[in-house]
Structure 1
């Protein structure tokens, strides 16, 4: 099957051929026809399998059939969790829509808002945004949604996570109810899936790969090492294997800065990218990494969802993530589009539980390899047998109260109906039963000792004073 088999316009077909693509990926084969039907879609696939093109191409096809966006109006809204991912999606929309008359804009925080407000005055067909900046623009009356046709949540598991759910609900309340909803992600936990189903209506569910699975093109390795030796081991691996482009993940922003300084002190060009960096610094660091001006890019998990680097050969987990699913997104930066990649994790004994959780999520043991001269003093315990993933049962809905019963309870609360005698009495208890709160109160009152204070009595009049008066 080729892209020519899809009912896409000549303008889109031309853009696809210019990119050198002939056959769609599995997620594109399933998602493009489903989206073109106009129904809601929930799609899950591995990172790096072409999810962005999977919703961008049919989205542009649908928008070509409608009217242009009016002033300050948006016809399609794409929400992303990070600035880097927003910029990546915007680039994809511009690439595939360059031969069409459709307009697109991207807005996110970390930069001045006034230029973004000026761009939205004329309206745009496709707007790519992060939730916080989108709400800021709406409060400034710079954007309207009455013409909105399609909503896309990219990386829906992170978008619907508890950190974003409030902003998402605020945005949903502003959008018209009649719209098409598209949710794309690499992972869908049962909790996130339940939240997503509250937002979509009779969705078409697409899953081309097992949940939370990793790409077969990625070779994964765990190197046991003591925590204090991690920086030296990373430096050794970069120099010994002559890695010219490696993406390193840390858990914290301060840890990323500290590791960057350590690598630079060893003569390895490096830069850090995380939430405390300005947008200009993040963009500059990513551009230098892609061009090869720096060898190592040290990032926190904020970058795991938004970095798209062609043929990135190496990913290193300097520290394992607390959220097991983030491991899938981290190593998904390599081995993209069928190209082989290598992911190595430096794991100390304290991270053994995190490693077991990751192996449980991906349902496979990661091969371990001891690096000579870096044998850990505190050995990494062997992993246990992997348990199969549990399928959480949906919660049973609560039984509705009978109308007569509900009416009687309401009447008792309002005082219009007296409760039946004997119903509110506490049940008789056997000798071995534990007393409840009311029993304790009653027992306390019965055993309370009388007060030793004398009862009040009026004073007798002073006869001497009376005589004198």
Structure 2
């Protein structure tokens, strides 16, 4: 850094790091430093360039590297600058710029008065990347970057020099270190550069673009009455509401206001939100265009635009709406595009909307890869056996959160009705009203309905914690949808399990599915290999088919057959769990000494499966008498 650049940089970050008042009790050559953004005190040895929180004693041995379970305070990056600053200590000179903040360090979570405030739980260095060079960190996390003068990743939160209130929100949320996409995209975004980020779902993309957006709008300090500064476009209302929740959560301490605009809900409350003035708008393209046509919102101040799940938006046909919205936004802006895949359609719109972007890839963008932290079980079974096998899986794995994917809305409703009594299940798909969808997701999040039966409307974007199992009751219309379905579990470093029922009519996907399993180091069933070897793979399917486009099975005849035979079927119990009707479905795994009897209902061969069956329970079966919701 040149002398003039250092001077400008130091002036821009006035007060970032300064020397503490002289302390005669400090052994030489230790110095006291204060991080002015947080008020934290720590100690620095200029000869060894070691920093620590604990005050060194006169008889202290030579300093050792900090413990792995304790965050390290900011280390002065350029020793000569600090020595010069030390000569001006009494005048509190020696302020450091963020550019000079040392990488891979955490600032001290200890106040100057030595009263502990908050202390984050940090990953060990080998997990977070502390101590690794930029290239070693990128290799470890499969990060590749395309662009000129790409800055090094931020491998710890405080190396970002984010405002203290934002750092506090991140630590209090339980985050120990940035995810790879956050670590590499944050320093680029803070340089006001356009970004293309290609990373799988569950990789932390939302925080990856929200935090730089908060800093951007705080720096500009625009008048919210003139319109938002940050605009985030999302393909679905579920994803939009999740982004909005994260924006409210992490922007609260910074007093950042946010509105969420999506279809399927009344416009009135949304219009009132934007009329009050907001910093951030999260919207689906259709509803935003409706409000723009009403002249109730202006985008003249938007200078930070985010396209989240761009591939999904294009596949849903939103490209005309996106281009129409972009025309309302000034050309002098920062644009960030986040996508899970990198097909030619996304490349085209990226080339049109972004200016000299830096591309950040996590993993191989040209190869569809499943999350290796998800254990995948593919079972080749007849269609008519799927329902019974589903019940076996639910009982054998016990209480947990499950998503069960079906190919049609009708099947989704029928299977949810069938599972609701013994397990607690609800359905979500495109025909549900927004109020119904909100209630279903709320019941699923709080565990009231631990099984969510869904079409692909829930396959992308939903970020619900603690989903342990995903079950593909019907195989989707391609392996890309399969990868994104199972990606509902195993998120943010957690592990998960996926079960997939694979039938003869799915054989055209066998070859591609084998590749996915092999690429993720998963076991490949011999039956599936046989299907693939017989050339089961057929024509190329359309990606991201909406739930209304599935037409693999005609369930009408099956429903007619079911209605005609229902009376006789209900009198014949088909399935009884356990010996002598006893099963452990009580809370906490206790023995509730209950049994469930099911009449067969229609076979799954026709694809119906309404849940019509007789159910009987022993008096001891655990059940919440207050609301009628069964428990496991």
Taking structure 1 as the reference length, the TM-score comes to: 0.76
Moved more, 32-41 or 286-295: 286-295
Q: Does 1:86 align with 2:235?
A: no
CA distance in 2, matches of 1:359, 1:112: 45
Match of 1:20 in 2: 174
Name the SS of the counterpart of 1:198 in structure 2. Answer: helix
> What residue number does 2:509 align with?
354
Question: 1:369: how far off?
Answer: 5.2
Per-residue deviation, residues 122-170 of structure 1 (Å, max 9, x unmatched): 3211100111110111111111011111110111111122511121122
Who is 1:131 aligned against?
285
- Say if 1:104 and 1:350 are closer, same or farther in 2 by CA, change over 3 A: same
Structure 2 partner of 1:320: 475
Give secondary structure in 1 for the equivalent of 2:392. helix
Match for residue 199 of structure 1?
353
CA distance in 2, matches of 1:187, 1:232: 35
Look up the match of 2:460: 305
CA 1:369 to 1:268, structure 2 compared with 1: closer, same or farther past 3 Å? farther
Aligned to 2:491: 336
TM-fit CA distance, 1:60:
0.8
Say whether 1:262 aligns with 2:411: no
Task: Report whether the alignment pairs 1:252 with 2:408.
Answer: yes
* C-alpha contact (below 8 Å) 1:224/1:380 kept by paired residues: no
- Quick check: 2:314–2:345 contact (8 Å CA) kept in 1? no
Matched residue of 2:452: which SS? Answer: strand
Aligned pair in 2 of structure 1 residues 261, 201: CA closer, same or farther (>3 Å)?
same
CA offsets 1:65-105 (integer angstroms, 9 cap, x no match): 01233325111110111111111111111111111132111
Contact 2:475–2:500 (Cα < 8 Å) also in 1? yes
Q: Where do 5+ consecutive residues of structure 1 fail to align?
A: 371-375, 387-469
Residue 382 (structure 1) aligned with residue 531 (structure 2): yes
Q: Is the 8 A contact 2:514 2:529 kept in 1?
A: no
Following TM superposition, by how much is the alpha carbon of 1:262 offset from its aligned partner in structure 2, in angstroms?
2.6
Instruction: Output one character per residue of 1:338-369: Cα deviation in whole Å (capped at 9) or x when no partner.
Output: 11100111110110212433445677375345
Q: What is the alpha-carbon distance in structure 1 between the residues aligned to residue 516 and residue 381 of structure 2?
A: 23
Shift of 1:261: 2.2
Distance 2:171 2:206 in 1: 17
Map Cα deviations across residues 373-411 of structure 1 (whole Å, 9 max, x no partner). Answer: xxx9xx88432499xxxxxxxxxxxxxxxxxxxxxxxxx
Over the aligned positions, Cα root-mean-square deviation in angstroms equals 2.2
Q: What is the CA–CA distance in structure 2 between the aligned matches of 1:10 and 1:385, rounded to whole Å? A: 60
2:314 is matched with: 160
Distance in 1 between the 2:308 and 2:247 partners? Answer: 13
Partner of 2:562: none
Q: Contact 2:404/2:473 (CA < 8 Å) preserved in 1?
A: yes
Cα distance between partner residues in 1 of 2:532 and 2:478: 18
The CA deviation at 1:323 is 3.8
1:284 aligns with one of 432, 439, 453: 439
Measured in 2, the distance between the counterparts of 1:127 and 1:362 equals 39
Contact 2:475–2:482 (CA<8 Å) still a contact in 1? yes
Which residue pairs with 1:237 in the alignment? 393
Q: Secondary structure at the match of 1:134?
A: helix
Structure 1 residues 151 and 361, CA gap change in structure 2 (3 angstroms): farther
1:173–1:360: structure 2 CA closer, same or farther, 3 Å change rule? farther
Q: Report if the CA contact (8 A) 2:248-2:256 is conserved.
A: no
Pair 1:191–1:356, CA change in 2 (3 A): farther
Are the counterparts in 2 of residues 320 and 354 from structure 1 also a CA contact under 8 Å?
no
Contact 1:325 1:358 in 2 (8 A): no
Q: Which residue matches 2:450?
A: 295
Pick from 417, 420, 428: which aligns with 1:273?
A: 428
Q: Which moved more, 1:182-191 or 1:202-211?
A: 182-191
On the 8 A contact 1:69/1:124 being kept in 2, the answer is no
Which whole-Å CA distance do the structure 1 matches of 2:352 and 2:517 have between them?
Answer: 27
CA deviation string 1:241-289 (max 9, x = no partner): 3243210111221221122123236x23210011110111111111111
Runs of 5+ in structure 2 lacking a partner? 1-103, 105-155, 536-632
CA change 1:185–1:359 in 2 (3 A) is farther
Deviation at 1:201, TM superposition (A): 1.4
Counterpart CA distance in 2 for 1:351 and 1:284 is 33
Structure with greater Cα Rg: 1
State how far apart, in whole Å, the 1-side matches of 2:410 and 2:486 are.
Answer: 22
Q: TM-score, normalised by structure 2?
A: 0.57
| Residues 162-177 of structure 1 aligned to structure 2 (within 5 Å) | 163-177=317-331
- The answer for the alignment partner of 1:397 in structure 2 is none
**Equivalent pair of 1:103/1:124 in contact (CA under 8 Å):** yes
Name the counterpart of 2:373. Answer: 217
Asked if the contact 1:251/1:319 (under 8 Å) is kept, the reply is: yes
217, 224, 227: which one pairs with 2:383?
227
Which whole-Å deviations, capped at 9, do the CAs of 1:277-312 have from their partners, x for residues lacking one? 011111111111111111310111111223212121
Structure 2 counterparts to residues 410-421 of structure 1, below 5 A: none
1:180 aligns with 2:334: yes
What SS does the corresponding residue of 2:281 show, helix, strand or coil?
strand
Structure 1 residues 164 and 310, CA, compared in 2 at 3 Å: closer, same or farther? same
Q: Distance in 2 between matches of 1:126 and 1:296?
A: 33
Query: Aligned pairs, how many?
Result: 378
- Secondary structure in 2 aligned to 1:92? helix
Contact 1:271 1:298 in 2 (8 A): yes
In 2, the alpha carbon distance for the partners of 1:135 and 1:45 equals 28
Aligned partner of residue 345 in structure 1, secondary structure: strand
How far the C-alpha of 1:40 sits from its partner, in A, is 0.7
Q: Which residue of 1 aligns with 2:194?
A: 40
- Maintained 8 Å contact 2:199/2:363: yes
Q: Report the Cα distance in structure 1 between the residues aligned to 2:180 and 2:437, rounded to whole angstroms.
A: 32
Say which is worse superposed, 236-245 or 297-306, in terms of deviation. Answer: 236-245
Q: Answer with 7-16 or 25-34: which moved more.
A: 7-16
